[in-house]
């Protein structure tokens, strides 16, 4: 059916970064130029991925290419049947889009890092870590089953750990890396539970096979409740990895890592993996699960936005903004706007990576100063950085002609329509509020950094525009933040090729009454995607269900109606936010400090990040440590105490029995000895040794004998 | 009167009782000598008395007990034995004297140890 | 027997080595070390030969015909003994897919620990003689198919261990050695009683048609072989099989060690010299779980069914309790010891699932724990050799000073956490998948998954305290790994990585047997209990 060897190419793309990792790690010490090898490898992967994405989207946009092989075969038993674990790859439109995003940003970050990390003593090691990250991330992208998802999920966790803690000599960095890993594990704990439910019921990890079984009415433990629960539990992984409320606390700390790493991992790709996971499991999510996801998304977009308003560390602002934007994506998926959610992932990846790299450029220029209160007026010194940063800020604020506008507007419109259809208007309200705050804090950041007078003359004096290797990625990303790459209509993405041809909401497989009411079934549609197997597979994969489930006309109409109100509203709030930022920080009509003073409790609450860290430290970290100390005490005192106690008791008993032995048992023996001794002493008295005494005795004895005999005897 | 008649019979008719009486006396004197004397030679003499009391018994019982000459024979043996014994005993006493420089039997209580 | 007696060779080769070591004159310490190394290396070679000749399609478990490398001959035979009539004890050894991985593990760990013993210079002769005897005991335990023989090897291994801890150990070595010895002996007593009980309940038909009591454990797995009145016979309505099960289980549980019998382990580990810690964690602990799988499960299948929830519950307690205790430790070695308690909990949980995936996970976890924990103890040994302290808080920033060493540390630590790509992940996730698939222990499995969270917590915290952060200037003289340490760590690293990526190397070895065991456990409880009724 297709002549393009997609699977081999995908395998090569997947393995290339791993090779880069190994060789750079092993020879990095000896050969100083290993970083070039690694960068070259990633660039090759990028080239291949562009080719693959292009061919797939242009010629095979409606196909899904699956290939799998048996990894572990556990044979079969009479009681449980055949058990095997498969690995496999799946290539569809979402895959190749994500692949392109990951490879592109990874390559740009590699290039950027060549200058940014110059002079670091573990220069090559840094590049090898980037390699293993890219490998793990690509694994997530290509997977067609939940187990592989989990495997690579953990591996990106590892690479994130290694990269956040890259400067491990700093305690804050090693703390942050540990925190990131452990907090992610909390999410993975839920995800693992979800996987357990999945496997226990379907005996496979493969998405398509699970979907097929669900659509045939096989529910986990025969209940819809468990289907919802399974969806939510799987989503828990996304809560951790995408830093959603309540597990968002690790991401701001993760900014301890090198800034390019923040751009790659903690803005564009790894944190988006949560969204990607949700996209992958989207068909099995019930209405309740989606509502839960939307709620989490809304909360996660709102809280960090309020925190970002008051932060003064350039990277912290961006970190909170990232959480907030990820919340947007998650909320979009939750309200059923699958395509917009993923679309926002793509656009966000470009402009947020750009923002981070831009901030990296600023930090580089300012000699590792991250506090925006020390900056200002950098516009003249860093013209390219400034221009691109402005474009990214406009994109994230949702100003027309940018990519951000397209995706964000779509999400807001979907939330708006969702509110109209189901009555849950809160998502739209929160969405618009967040848009307002986003515009405000982004321009606050921009103005404080690049406009006005320099607040730290000395650092300003030394600042200079970054070298071309660093500005080039910025320019490239800025270009990608322009609408024209996604649609020809700058006001709506719907007619653009990304949404019209490439991203299609997959069929929901959950029972009809468990879905949102607007996700109904249409019976006369053709299957959306045909499944093709390139390699021999033991079992026939699940055929797509015959009828495709798409949004009802009612929903299409609601979306249509929501489009313009939502667009105007979002433009209005974005404009308002930018205006406020200018009033407060550019024209200084309102004194920001005074305003902060007048709402001091709120300001402090926001500045201290809603006290999440303090609360978690108090409730969970200290709780666990206390429990562990108590148990260690319990172990060494009580459990071991019983053991040692029994030893003591045994010893005492043995002493007792020893005493008994000495004084009673042996005492008797000695007593008889003593007695006979005494008797001896007594009788000894008769043994005078004098013959005459003996004779007297003999005679008297004889007389006595005779006497006795005569009286009693014969 | 029975006492009188018994006494007169005792005084008039010499019989077994007299011999036994003499023998008993001799025996007692012998014992006394053996027990009380400190000198070993005197002890030996006591022993001779005891032996002779036995001889009297032998002979007396032989005469009155209708045993033929068995008693006399035994007495002869005893006499010979006594002679031999005295010879050995005196030799021992001499040796004791040589060893302990003393023949006082009280002092010689080595047997006790 | 138309094959070379490979199992006897691998088992008794160390005894030959021991004799050589004992015959060597006093000054030749190096020759003694080389002897040990050679013997253990030869064991690896033999293990390799066994592996290459191993037939993957034979199940074993209760079928004497599908055991492999069998050697069986009459060892002790006494006729006309009072009411017993004939006493016969066989020398009966053989392996199946459950013992084969343990055999490989023992050969491997023995060699690594022998390498690690190189720098022990106190009473070298005695040490190596004891060490080789210990290896024989361990091998013997895993190959015996006769209860009597098994018991002998079990006790043979105990004695050298006592001296190895008690003479070459740390400051509180006497305490630790005695605790270890008495604890294990306490368990052995129960085992002995159950062994005799089973012997007097189970009969084997000789070729002549004569029936004699037997110690053959394979005969004990068939309810038809039991006498009508035997005290542990299922045919006897008043049998004491339940009590016997608990007794036997307790004997093995002490070795695992299962909460609340685990407290000998931290003491023994902390005091034992590094190679002995490696052996202890790498092989000895496995004997407990192996014993349960080899004895408790097939000999008492109906009771296993009854108590399965409790086995899983103790597994869960081990996992969580061990992890929490580990978190609070300040001594590096003690922390690893408690992490062992936690990891052995996974084995118990997996065994309790009674399905292929769970039991596979459990056996594979036994192997992986052997390799990964051996690495961890070697790692502790490396810094203890250099710094002469194990206090976690006394270090810091070692990654700067010893980067290559820290690389190995990272692999071992993440292996212990259960990171994919390292073998521990496969076994732990299999345990969870299996446990969750078995209805009665589903909730316990979910609770146990908290263990992986706690595991990440204490392992990473330790990694941070010892290796990350600013370098403690006290340690700026420490050298990175030397050649011998490379030789110990690299093979283990390669093994854990290969098995992490392609676990089928090991899983294939055990698969048929696991399935046989699962089938046996599924059908035989009915057999055993229906006869009893």
| Range 349-388 of C in CB contact (< 8 A) with A | 355-357, 360
Residue percentage of chain A with pLDDT more than 70: 94
pLDDT digits (tens, 9 = 90+) for C326-345: 988 888 999 999 999 999 99
Record: contact B106-A689, CB cut-off 8 A: no
**Least confident interval from A24-38, A76-90, C275-289:** A76-90
Of C263, C356, C469, the CB nearest to A74: C356
Look at residue C150 and tell me whether its pLDDT is greater than 90: yes
Alpha-carbon distance A304 to A249, whole Å? 10
Closest to C213 (Cα-Cα) out of C237, C194, C230: C230
Record: contact C327-A625, CB cut-off 8 A: yes
Record: contact A692-B111, CB cut-off 8 A: no
Alpha-carbon distance B23 to B31, whole Å? 12
Interface residue C421 vs chain A (CB under 8 A): yes
- Give ipTM to 2 decimals: 0.90
Mutation for A interface: C453, C505, C510, most A CBs within 10 A: C453
Record: contact C420-A155, CB cut-off 8 A: yes
B73: domain CATH number is 1.10.287.3510
Contact A277, A241 (CB under 8 A): yes
Look at residue C270 and tell me whether its pLDDT is greater than 60: yes
pLDDT digits (tens, 9 = 90+) for C161-208: 999 998 888 888 888 888 888 888 888 899 999 998 888 888 888 777
Alpha-carbon distance A369 to A565, whole Å? 42
Question: B113 in a domain, yes or no?
Answer: no
Alpha-carbon distance C244 to A706, whole Å? 75
Q: Which residues contact A83 (CB under 8 A, 6 or more apart)?
A: A74, A75, A76, A203, C356, C357
Question: B90 in a domain, yes or no?
Answer: yes
Interface residue C414 vs chain A (CB under 8 A): yes
Q: Is C391 helix (H, G, I), strand (E, B) or coil?
A: strand
Record: contact B34-A687, CB cut-off 8 A: no
Choice between A596 and C369, residue whose per-residue pLDDT is larger: C369
Look at residue C135 and tell me whether its pLDDT is greater than 90: yes
How confident is the model at residue A79, as a pLDDT?
66
Task: Report the chain A residue with the minimal C-alpha distance to residue B28.
Answer: A699
Look at residue A2 and tell me whether its pLDDT is greater than 70: no
Question: B52 in a domain, yes or no?
Answer: yes
Q: What is the CA radius of gyration of chain C?
A: 23
How confident is the model at residue B112, as a pLDDT?
59
Question: Which residues of chain A are within 8 Å of residue B29 when distances are taken between CB atoms?
Answer: none
Residue A545: which pLDDT band, with cuts at 50, 70 and 90?
A: very low
Record: contact A639-C263, CB cut-off 8 A: yes
Mutation for B interface: A689, A694, A703, most B CBs within 10 A: A689
Residue A530: which pLDDT band, with cuts at 50, 70 and 90?
A: very low
Residue A224: which pLDDT band, with cuts at 50, 70 and 90?
A: confident
How confident is the model at residue C110, as a pLDDT?
93
Question: B53 in a domain, yes or no?
Answer: yes
Question: B40 in a domain, yes or no?
Answer: yes
How confident is the model at residue C82, as a pLDDT?
67
**C and B touching (3 or more beta-carbon pairs closer than 8 Å):** no
Look at residue C369 and tell me whether its pLDDT is greater than 90: yes
Q: How many CB atoms are closer than 10 A to CB B110?
A: 10
What DSSP character marks residue A443? H
Residue percentage of chain C with pLDDT more than 70: 98
Segment (H or E) for C94: strand C85-95
Token pair listed for C335: 């922390």
pLDDT digits (tens, 9 = 90+) for C229-260: 888 888 777 788 889 999 999 999 998 888 88
Sign of CA dihedral C324, C330, C334, C336: positive
Question: B112 in a domain, yes or no?
Answer: no
| Range 22-51 of B in CB contact (< 8 A) with A | 31, 34-36, 43
pLDDT digits (tens, 9 = 90+) for A275-300: 999 998 888 888 888 899 999 999 99
Task: Report the chain A residue with the minimal C-alpha distance to residue C264.
Answer: A640
Q: Is A256 helix (H, G, I), strand (E, B) or coil?
A: helix
Alpha-carbon distance C139 to C8, whole Å? 9
Alpha-carbon distance A30 to A192, whole Å? 41
Residue A521: which pLDDT band, with cuts at 50, 70 and 90?
A: low
Question: Which residues of chain A are within 8 Å of residue B111 when distances are taken between CB atoms?
Answer: 689, 691
- Tell me how long chain C is: 533
Q: Which residues contact C462 (CB under 8 A, 6 or more apart)?
A: C332, C335, C392, C413
How confident is the model at residue A3, as a pLDDT?
67
Choice between A169 and C524, residue whose per-residue pLDDT is larger: A169
Contact C127, C150 (CB under 8 A): no
**C and A touching (3 or more beta-carbon pairs closer than 8 Å):** yes
- Kind of pairing between the strands at C203-205 and C211-213: antiparallel
Q: Write out the residues of chain A at the interface with chain B, using a CB-CB cutoff of 8 A.
A: 687-692, 695-696, 699
Please, which contacts does A7-13 make with residues 24 or more away whose CB atoms are closer than 8 Å? A7/A65, A7/A67, A7/A89, A7/A91, A7/A534, A7/A535, A9/A48, A9/A51, A9/A52, A10/A52, A10/A89, A10/A91, A10/A142, A11/A89, A12/A45, A12/A48, A13/A45, A13/A48, A13/A49, A13/A52, A13/A99, A13/A103, A13/A138
Closest to A434 (Cα-Cα) out of A323, A565, A282: A323
Dihedral angle of Cα C245, C251, C256, C262, to the nearest 10 degrees: 120
pLDDT digits (tens, 9 = 90+) for A15-55: 999 998 988 888 888 888 888 888 888 888 889 888 888 88
Q: What is the largest CA-CA distance in chain C?
A: 78
How confident is the model at residue A520, as a pLDDT?
61
**Least confident interval from A613-617, C43-47, C381-385:** A613-617
Look at residue A4 and tell me whether its pLDDT is greater than 80: no
Record: contact C356-A80, CB cut-off 8 A: yes
Look at residue C38 and tell me whether its pLDDT is greater than 90: yes
Question: B75 in a domain, yes or no?
Answer: yes
Of C328, C442, C504, the CB nearest to A629: C328
Alpha-carbon distance A26 to A29, whole Å? 7
Record: contact B109-A689, CB cut-off 8 A: yes
Interface residue B3 vs chain A (CB under 8 A): no
- The Cα of A377 is separated from the nearest Cα of chain C by a number of Å equal to 36
Count of domains forming chain B: 1
- Tell me how long chain B is: 113
Look at residue C378 and tell me whether its pLDDT is greater than 60: yes
How confident is the model at residue A72, as a pLDDT?
82
> Can you say how many angstroms the Cα of residue A565 is from the centroid of all Cα atoms in its chain?
36
Mutation for C interface: A154, A180, A625, A630, most C CBs within 10 A: A154
Interface residue B103 vs chain A (CB under 8 A): no
Record: contact A196-C504, CB cut-off 8 A: no
In Å, how far are B47, B51, C107, C341 from A696, measured between CA atoms? 14, 17, 90, 88
Choice between A8 and A541, residue whose per-residue pLDDT is larger: A8
DSSP H helices, A120-145, are 123-142
Look at residue C20 and tell me whether its pLDDT is greater than 80: yes
Task: Report the chain A residue with the minimal C-alpha distance to residue C259.
Answer: A639
Residue A550: which pLDDT band, with cuts at 50, 70 and 90?
A: low
**What's the whole-number mean pLDDT along residues C351-361?**
90
Token pair listed for B21: 């009486």
How confident is the model at residue A552, as a pLDDT?
62
**What's the whole-number mean pLDDT along residues C58-63?**
82
Alpha-carbon distance C183 to A643, whole Å? 9
Regions of chain B where pLDDT drops below 50:
1
Contact C243, C237 (CB under 8 A): no
Look at residue A427 and tell me whether its pLDDT is greater than 80: yes
> Can you say how many angstroms the Cα of residue B14 is from the centroid of all Cα atoms in its chain?
22
- Residue range of the domain that includes B48: 2-107
Q: Is C446 helix (H, G, I), strand (E, B) or coil?
A: helix
Alpha-carbon distance C289 to C169, whole Å? 26
Record: contact A695-B113, CB cut-off 8 A: no
Question: B55 in a domain, yes or no?
Answer: yes
DSSP H helices, C89-224, are 99-116, 124-143, 147-168, 173-199, 217-220
Q: How many CB atoms are closer than 10 A to CB A512?
A: 11
Chains that touch A (3 or more CB pairs under 8 A): B, C
Q: Is A30 helix (H, G, I), strand (E, B) or coil?
A: coil
Alpha-carbon distance A207 to A215, whole Å? 12
Look at residue A533 and tell me whether its pLDDT is greater than 60: no
Closest to C183 (Cα-Cα) out of A50, A5, A259, A639: A639
CA atoms within 13 A on the CB side of A157: 33
**Least confident interval from A202-211, A371-380, A405-414, C294-303:** A371-380
Question: Which residues of chain C are within 8 Å of residue A196 when distances are taken between CB atoms?
Answer: 432-433, 436, 445-446, 449
């Amino acid at each position: 059916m297709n002549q393009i060897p997609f699977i081999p190419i995908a395998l090569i793309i997947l393995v290339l970064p791993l090779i880069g990792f190994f060789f750079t790690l092993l020879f990095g010490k000896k050969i100083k130029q290993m970083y070039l090898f690694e960068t070259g490898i990633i660039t090759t992967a990028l080239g291949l991925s562009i080719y693959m994405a292009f061919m797939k989207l242009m010629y095979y946009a409606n196909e899904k290419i699956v290939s799998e092989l048996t990894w572990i075969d556990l044979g079969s038993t009479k009681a449980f049947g055949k058990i095997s674990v498969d690995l496999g790859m799946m290539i569809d439109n979402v895959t190749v889009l994500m692949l392109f995003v990951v490879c592109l940003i990874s390559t740009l970050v590699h290039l950027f890092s060549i200058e940014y990390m110059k002079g670091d003593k573990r220069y090559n090691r840094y590049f090898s870590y980037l390699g293993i990250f890219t490998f793990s991330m690509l694994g997530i992208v290509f997977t067609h089953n939940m187990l592989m998802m989990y495997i690579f999920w953990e591996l990106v966790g590892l690479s994130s750990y290694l990269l956040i803690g890259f400067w491990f000599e700093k305690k804050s960095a090693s703390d942050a890396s540990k925190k990131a890993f452990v907090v992610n594990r909390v999410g993975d704990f839920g995800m693992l539970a979800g996987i357990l439910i999945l496997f226990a019921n379907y005996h496979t990890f493969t998405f398509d096979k699970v979907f097929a079984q669900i659509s045939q009415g096989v529910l986990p433990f025969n209940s819809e409740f468990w289907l919802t629960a399974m969806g939510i539990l799987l989503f828990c992984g996304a809560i951790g990895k995408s830093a959603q409320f309540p597990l968002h606390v690790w991401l701001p700390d993760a900014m301890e890592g090198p800034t390019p790493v923040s751009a790659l991992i903690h803005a564009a790709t790894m944190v988006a993996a949560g969204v990607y996971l949700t996209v992958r499991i989207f068909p099995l999510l019930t209405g309740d699960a989606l509502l839960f996801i939307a709620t989490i998304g809304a909360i996660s977009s709102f809280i960090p936005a309020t925190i970002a308003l008051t932060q003064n560390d350039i990277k912290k602002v961006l970190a909170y903004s990232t959480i907030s934007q990820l919340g947007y994506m998650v909320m979009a998926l939750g309200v059923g706007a699958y395509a917009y959610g993923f679309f926002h992932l793509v656009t966000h990846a470009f402009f947020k990576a750009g923002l981070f790299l831009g901030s990296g450029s600023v930090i580089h220029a300012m000699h590792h100063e991250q506090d925006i209160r020390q900056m200002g007026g950098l516009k003249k010194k860093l013209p390219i950085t400034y221009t691109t940063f402005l474009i990214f800020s406009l994109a994230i604020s949702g100003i027309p002609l940018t990519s951000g506008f397209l995706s964000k507007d779509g999400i807001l419109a979907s939330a708006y329509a969702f509110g109209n259809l189901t009555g849950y208007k809160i998502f739209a309200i929160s969405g618009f509020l967040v848009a307002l705050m986003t515009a405000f804090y982004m321009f606050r950041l921009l103005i404080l950094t690049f406009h006005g007078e320099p607040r730290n003359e000395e650092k300003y004096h030394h600042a200079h525009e970054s070298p071309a290797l660093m500005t080039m990625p910025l320019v490239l990303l800025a270009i990608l933040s322009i609408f024209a790459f996604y649609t020809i209509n700058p006001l709506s993405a719907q007619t653009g090729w990304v949404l019209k041809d490439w991203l299609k909401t997959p069929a929901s497989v959950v029972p009809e009454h468990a879905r949102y009411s607007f996700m109904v079934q249409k019976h006369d549609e053709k299957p959306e995607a045909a499944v093709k197997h390139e390699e021999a597979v033991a079992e026939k994969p699940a055929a797509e269900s015959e009828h495709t489930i798409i949004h009802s006309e009612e929903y299409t109409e609601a979306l249509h109606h929501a489009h313009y109100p939502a667009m105007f509203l979002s433009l209005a709030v974005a404009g308002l936010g930018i205006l406020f930022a200018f009033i407060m920080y550019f024209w200084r009509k309102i004194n920001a400090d005074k305003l902060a003073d007048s709402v001091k409790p709120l300001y402090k609450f926001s500045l201290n990040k809603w006290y999440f860290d303090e609360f978690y430290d108090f409730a969970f970290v200290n709780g666990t440590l206390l429990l562990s100390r108590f148990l260690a005490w319990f172990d060494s005192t009580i459990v071991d105490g019983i053991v040692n106690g029994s030893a003591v008791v045994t010893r005492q008993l043995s002493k007792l029995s020893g005493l008994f032995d000495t004084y009673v048992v042996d005492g008797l023996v000695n007593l008889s000895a003593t007695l006979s001794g005494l008797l001896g002493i007594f009788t000894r008295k008769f043994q005078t040794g004098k013959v005459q005494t003996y004779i007297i005795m003999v005679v008297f004895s004889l007389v006595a004998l005779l006497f006795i005999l005569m009286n009693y005897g014969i | 009167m029975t006492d009188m008649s018994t006494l007169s019979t005792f005084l008039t008719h010499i019989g077994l009782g007299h011999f036994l009486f003499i023998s008993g006396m001799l025996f007692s004197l012998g014992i006394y000598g053996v027990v009380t004397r400190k000198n070993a030679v005197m002890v030996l003499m006591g022993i001779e008395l005891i032996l002779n009391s036995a001889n009297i018994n032998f002979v007396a019982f032989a005469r009155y007990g209708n045993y033929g000459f068995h008693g006399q024979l035994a007495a002869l043996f005893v006499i010979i034995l006594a002679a031999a014994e005295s010879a050995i005993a005196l030799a021992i006493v001499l040796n004791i004297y040589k060893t302990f420089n003393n023949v006082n039997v009280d002092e010689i209580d080595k047997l006790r140890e | 027997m138309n094959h070379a007696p490979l199992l006897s060779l691998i088992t008794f080769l160390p005894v030959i080595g021991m004799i050589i070591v004992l015959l060597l004159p006093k000054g030749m310490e190096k020759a003694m070390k080389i002897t040990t190394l050679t013997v253990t290396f030869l064991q690896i070679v033999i293990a390799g030969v066994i592996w290459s000749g191993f037939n993957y399609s034979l199940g074993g478990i209760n079928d004497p015909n599908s055991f492999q490398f069998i050697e069986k001959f009459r060892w002790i035979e006494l006729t006309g003994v009072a009411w017993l009539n004939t006493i016969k004890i066989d020398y009966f050894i053989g392996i199946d897919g459950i013992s084969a991985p343990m055999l490989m593990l023992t050969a491997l760990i023995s060699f690594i620990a022998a390498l690690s013993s190189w720098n022990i210079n106190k009473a070298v002769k005695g040490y190596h003689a004891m060490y080789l005897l210990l290896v024989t005991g361990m091998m013997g335990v895993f190959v015996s198919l006769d209860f009597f023989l098994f018991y002998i090897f079990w006790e043979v291994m105990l004695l050298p261990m006592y001296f190895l801890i008690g003479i070459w150990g740390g400051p509180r070595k006497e305490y630790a050695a005695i605790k270890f010895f008495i604890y294990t002996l306490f368990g052995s007593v129960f085992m002995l009683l159950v062994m005799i009980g089973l012997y007097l309940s189970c009969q084997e038909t000789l070729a002549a048609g004569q029936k004699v009591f037997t110690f053959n454990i394979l005969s004990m797995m068939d309810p038809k072989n039991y006498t009508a009145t035997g005290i542990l016979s299922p045919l006897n309505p008043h049998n004491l099989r339940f009590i016997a099960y608990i007794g036997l289980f307790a004997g093995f549980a002490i070795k695992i060690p299962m909460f609340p019998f685990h407290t000998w382990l931290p003491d023994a580990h902390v005091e034992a010299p590094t190679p002995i810690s490696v052996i202890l964690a790498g092989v000895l602990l496995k004997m407990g779980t192996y014993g349960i799988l080899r004895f408790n499960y097939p000999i008492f299948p109906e009771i296993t069914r009854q108590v399965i929830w409790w086995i899983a519950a103790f597994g869960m307690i081990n996992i969580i309790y061990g992890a929490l205790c580990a978190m609070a430790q300040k001594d590096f070695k003690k922390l690893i010891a408690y992490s062992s308690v936690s990891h052995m909990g996974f084995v118990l949980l997996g065994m309790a699932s009674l399905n292929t995936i769970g039991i596979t996970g459990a056996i594979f976890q036994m192997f992986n724990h052997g390799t990964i924990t051996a690495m961890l103890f070697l790692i502790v040994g490396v810094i203890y050799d250099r710094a002469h302290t194990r206090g976690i808080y006394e270090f810091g920033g070692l990654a700067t000073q010893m980067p290559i060493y820290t690389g190995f540390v990272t692999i071992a630590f993440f292996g212990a956490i259960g990171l994919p790509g390292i073998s521990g992940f496969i076994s732990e996730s299999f345990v969870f998948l299996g446990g969750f698939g078995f209805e009665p222990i589903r909730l316990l499995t979910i609770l146990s998954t908290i263990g992986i969270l706690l595991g990440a917590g204490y392992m990473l915290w330790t990694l941070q305290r010892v290796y990350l952060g600013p370098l403690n200037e006290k340690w700026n003289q420490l050298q990175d790994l030397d050649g011998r340490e490379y030789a110990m760590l690299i093979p283990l690293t390669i093994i854990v990585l290969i098995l992490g990526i392609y676990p089928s190397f090991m899983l294939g070895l055990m698969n048929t047997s696991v399935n046989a065991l699962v089938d046996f456990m599924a059908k035989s409880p009915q057999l055993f209990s229906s006869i009893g009724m």
